């Protein structure tokens, strides 16, 4: 990963300079990273990108070239620019385990650091977490629709730039895909890479069957043929069968065909029939072409005979919901040596943040092991699991629920303390298996792709009271 | 830019290996890069990303580490892997000038190279061109809606990964934005960077006015204040005016306010009144919050008093149309020493490609200087501008048009010949001014953001006949 120190918004640097000039750059600030809506109007979001946040935080530093560029902007004092020469991140970051299932308004990360450091990292952290969480979530939805069938990611050519292809593949595999077409992603993240040939291979040869024969000769053990260059049913599949027959004579078995156009329901059924009749019940049918969770659900409900799904553009861009609106909101700030909870008001009550230095717990039913609700509370609050736990809805406060037979998990774990990484790095394989555990720990109604049931995320009474008090205090300010 | 050699689909490498094994890896292939639909159902697309294609092509090369990773996949022969050690691009690429206005089915780039080289570069070229052209087009649409008002790009935090922020900013400025919040983009591409402060700055201080005063003290000559942290009309603007008054006493003039929430039409009108009444008719009002070309058009039609537009998420992701579907289609291939035009059939007639080694000309009216139609023709065809030029519709062939008083421009220019770059590198400033010239060279009906008139892109008679013949030949193939 490149050094992303300068990949930030200019206003972070102008504010940092302002804090520096005002003599408050070392005051502590606390920020929460959270989002307000699940992508694709779904029920959940998979937190993704934490490992890249680590790469980023560890590599922070301004080069001479960076500083001379900043000097050229005539916005910054010499003292401040001098200070930047030795800049690094020395604060605290807590984060959920990568792959955790998250809900609106829950902190994915919590940053507590000197004002000047906490401010710099906002944009880059959001950029990383927003994109990868978006794609992991989309992939998870697509794989849920495929109901256990393998899903391959191959959207690189339509991804929003090189990194979107690279980190998008990573997130897609974390979210559930079995592999990617992206070779660099395979190399960097040790994830399976997949792919055979394109239409151009078929066109290169004078005839389709010559192209298929040449491919089978190159990959006799892995012959998977793209059958829709000219005419899928009249030419592509008959030619593929001929080549599979020839392979069989040499002791090899054809592996699959791929269909990339046309009516995938009809084509796949016809293809299955032709392959079965020719003695190839084990040849797999892969389908691709503008697929997403909705198209796959439809095709499956119509009985399409598709074994493997290739998903491109609509996954890698999350085309129906191309951004996760993650924000980085000030929750507390040092004033005269004391950490004070902070609020930002808004006309829209959903946009008022939860103030204070907080933690997040998930409440599980002891008998079923399933998650039942999440609770946001102040960091100093302690839950005694031996006693019943009462939670209530933050807006409709008369809606309450009492847990008796439960246990809790704290979701935020230390990532950096005093600028030092607190744990071992995690592989994509580990993260992917955490996603699977996470999915198992929720009742399916919270995860279904359309009209999911809303999972409860409540505030502790103490936090709720703090929030209400701060709103009252700020809502009708005397004109200072 | 990183070395992107491995940022490709696995099937490019399996096909390369297949060509190599089949002894046809040095046969020439010709590919066209084109798209079939303009983004956002608009009338045009701005070609963008050509300079990054140059970076990519010039840096192609497999490292030892890359090759040992490829070896570990057990897909490639030792000879082939050995061959990759010295791999570079030695072919020909023609491309339109970056910033050219393009229409569906027109080649943005044309690659003519050895099969093994032409195949590798497909995915990366598409990734680069698809994303930057998408964002340049979106930015151009947004700026058209703003009708001359400055538009700032600040979507980095919601961009689809680091590169999407970086190259998206570049494309946004090429498309018409006056600058970006993205500091790294400013440094790398020498484009203006913009930005002041966030809500967190205001919240950090005990009161809003203290925050404004501290900001004004840090930037007395550039005081632009975000007024919606608590209450825009009752607190933010009155406090801003107080601080502008204090600045004026010290000989400085406040520069602007920014509103980032609420009803921007009402808020901007009220803000304008308050500022004017207080003696600040020159203080500019910047607005942001979920803006795109449609929202801006609406706000302008309602007379919102907004001077500067800050556009984020919806621009940097092109949220209503998050991918340009650019493709890389084989147009010709060497067979037994001869270059043969190639076609791919499809159930959907729009998806049948234009075969052959082609060029693209734009026809201008000599009196008005405006573009009137584009013509795709075979490279060997010559147009005599002294004679009338007749073109006809490729589907409705009875629709014809004859040009008398015209001149033509060839749009494809040499980028690489024998692997060598053919021209000087171009700056964002040069490319941006080319976009402006391009916009001036079209009648507005072709460029309007909704329901544009369709611009004519026709085929020469020779090309049309070639295409028709190839379709006939391939459509009912004997089962080989």
Q: What is the pLDDT of residues A233-271, one digit of tens each?
A: 999 999 999 999 999 999 999 999 999 999 999 999 999
**Nearest residue on chain A to B344, alpha-carbon basis:** A229
User: Which chain A residues have a beta carbon less than 8 Å from that of B475?
Assistant: 231
Chosen for mutation from A80, A182, A190, A218 (greatest number of chain B CBs closer than 10 Å) is: A218
Choose the closest CB to B193 out of A73, A183, A346.
A73
Chains A, B: CB contacts within 8 A come to 350
Q: What is the pLDDT of residues A274-301, one digit of tens each?
A: 999 999 999 999 999 999 999 999 999 9
Contact A29 B217 (CB under 8 A): no
Q: What is the pLDDT of residues B358-408, one digit of tens each?
A: 999 999 999 999 999 999 999 999 999 999 999 988 778 888 899 999 999
Banded model confidence at residue B479, pLDDT cuts 50, 70, 90: very low
Q: Taking residues B143-172, what's their average pLDDT?
A: 98
The Cα B106–Cα B360 span in angstroms is 7
Asked whether residue A476 carries a pLDDT value surpassing 60, the answer given is no
| CATH topology assigned to domain B146-316 | TIM Barrel (3.20.20)
User: Which chain B residues have a beta carbon less than 8 Å from that of A130?
Assistant: 157-158
**In 10 A of CB A445, how many CB atoms?**
12
Contact A131 B261 (CB under 8 A): no
Distances (CA, A) of A170 to A131, A134, A180, A190: 11, 12, 8, 9
Distances (CA, A) of A418 to A49, A72, A114, B180, B376: 21, 32, 11, 33, 63
User: Which chain A residues have a beta carbon less than 8 Å from that of B217?
Assistant: 21-22
Q: What is the pLDDT of residues A439-460, one digit of tens each?
A: 999 999 999 999 999 999 999 9
Q: What is the pLDDT of residues A359-378, one digit of tens each?
A: 999 999 999 999 999 999 99
Banded model confidence at residue A63, pLDDT cuts 50, 70, 90: very high
**Overall CATH class of domain A203-289:** alpha beta
Q: What is the pLDDT of residues A84-136, one digit of tens each?
A: 999 999 999 999 999 999 999 999 999 999 999 999 999 999 999 999 999 99
Listed as own residue / partner, the contacts of B232-236 with beta carbons closer than 8 Å and 24 or more positions apart are: B232/B259, B232/B261, B232/B262, B232/B267, B232/B271, B233/B267, B233/B270, B233/B271, B233/B274, B234/A476, B234/A477, B234/A479, B235/A477, B235/A479, B235/A480, B235/B208, B236/B208
Banded model confidence at residue A478, pLDDT cuts 50, 70, 90: very low
Banded model confidence at residue B86, pLDDT cuts 50, 70, 90: very high
Q: What is the pLDDT of residues B249-286, one digit of tens each?
A: 999 999 999 999 999 999 999 999 999 999 999 999 99
Contact A330 B218 (CB under 8 A): no
Banded model confidence at residue B204, pLDDT cuts 50, 70, 90: very high
pLDDT of residue A474: 80
Considering the domain A10-135+322-475 in this protein, what is its CATH number? 3.20.140.10
Range of weakest confidence among A166-170, B1-5, B62-66, B219-223? B1-5
Q: Taking residues A390-400, what's their average pLDDT?
A: 84
pLDDT of residue B20: 97
User: Which chain A residues have a beta carbon less than 8 Å from that of B8?
Assistant: 156, 182-184
Choose the closest CB to B204 out of A115, A128, A208.
A115
Chosen for mutation from B183, B258, B354 (greatest number of chain A CBs closer than 10 Å) is: B183
Contact A22 B214 (CB under 8 A): yes
Contact B4 A184 (CB under 8 A): yes
pLDDT of residue B476: 54
Banded model confidence at residue B309, pLDDT cuts 50, 70, 90: very high
Considering the domain B10-135+325-475 in this protein, what is its CATH number? 3.20.140.10
Chosen for mutation from A70, A117, A158 (greatest number of chain B CBs closer than 10 Å) is: A158
Contact A164 B168 (CB under 8 A): no
Choose the closest CB to B160 out of A160, A186, A201.
A160
Measured in angstroms, the CA of A384 and the nearest CA of chain B are apart by 34
Contact A322 B326 (CB under 8 A): no
Percentage with pLDDT > 90 across chain A = 92
Asked whether residue A21 carries a pLDDT value surpassing 50, the answer given is yes
Domain A203-289 in the same topology as domain A10-135+322-475: no
The Cα A178–Cα A311 span in angstroms is 11
Measured in angstroms, the CA of B365 and the nearest CA of chain A are apart by 36
Q: Where are the domains of chain A?
A: 10-135+322-475, 203-289
pLDDT of residue B196: 86
pLDDT of residue B394: 78
Q: Taking residues B51-62, what's their average pLDDT?
A: 98
**Nearest residue on chain B to A134, alpha-carbon basis:** B160
């Amino acid at each position: 990963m490149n050094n992303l120190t300068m990949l930030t918004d200019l206003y972070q640097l102008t504010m940092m300079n302002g804090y520096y000039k005002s003599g408050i750059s070392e005051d502590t600030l606390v920020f929460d990273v959270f989002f307000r809506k699940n992508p694709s109007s779904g029920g959940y979001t998979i937190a993704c990108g934490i490992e890249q946040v680590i790469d980023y935080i560890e590599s922070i530093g301004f080069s001479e070239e960076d500083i001379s560029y900043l000097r050229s902007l005539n916005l910054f004092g010499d003292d401040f620019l001098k200070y930047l020469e030795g800049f690094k991140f020395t604060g605290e970051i807590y984060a959920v385990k990568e792959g955790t299932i998250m809900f609106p308004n829950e902190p994915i990360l919590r940053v507590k650091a000197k004002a000047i450091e906490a401010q710099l990292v906002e944009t880059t952290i959001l950029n990383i977490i927003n994109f990868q969480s978006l794609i992991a979530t989309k992939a998870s939805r697509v794989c849920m629709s495929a109901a256990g069938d393998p899903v391959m990611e191959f959207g690189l050519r339509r991804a929003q730039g090189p990194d979107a292809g690279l980190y998008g593949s990573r997130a897609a595999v974390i979210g559930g895909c079995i592999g990617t077409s992206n070779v660099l992603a395979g190399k960097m993240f040790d994830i399976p890479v997949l792919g055979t040939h394109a239409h151009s291979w078929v066109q290169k040869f004078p005839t389709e069957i010559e192209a298929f024969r040449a491919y089978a000769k190159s990959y006799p053990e892995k012959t998977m043929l793209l059958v829709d260059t000219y005419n899928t049913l009249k030419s592509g599949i008959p030619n593929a069968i001929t080549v599979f027959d020839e392979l069989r004579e040499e002791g090899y078995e054809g592996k699959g065909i791929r269909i990339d156009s046309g009516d995938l329901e009809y084509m796949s059924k016809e293809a299955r029939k032709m392959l079965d009749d020719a003695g190839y019940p084990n040849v797999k049918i892969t389908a691709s072409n503008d697929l997403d969770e909705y198209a796959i659900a439809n095709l499956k409900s119509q009985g399409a005979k598709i074994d493997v799904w290739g998903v491109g553009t609509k996954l890698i861009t999350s085309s129906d919901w191309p951004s996760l609106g993650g924000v980085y909101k000030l929750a507390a700030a040092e004033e005269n040596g004391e950490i004070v909870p902070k609020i930002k008001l808004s006309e829209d009550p959903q946009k008022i943040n939860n103030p204070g230095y907080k933690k997040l717990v998930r409440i599980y039913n002891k008998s079923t092991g399933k998650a039942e609700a999440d609770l946001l509370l102040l960091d100093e609050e302690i839950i005694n699991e031996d006693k019943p736990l009462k939670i209530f809805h933050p807006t409709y406060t008369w809606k309450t629920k009492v847990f008796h037979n439960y246990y809790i998990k704290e979701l935020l774990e230390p990532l950096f303390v005093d600028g030092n990484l607190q744990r071992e790095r995690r592989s994509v394989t580990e993260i992917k298996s955490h996603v699977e555990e996470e999915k198992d720990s929720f009742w399916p109604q919270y995860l279904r792709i359309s009209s999911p049931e809303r999972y409860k995320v409540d505030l502790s009474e103490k936090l709720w009271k703090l929030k209400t008090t701060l709103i009252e205090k700020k809502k009708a300010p005397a004109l200072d």
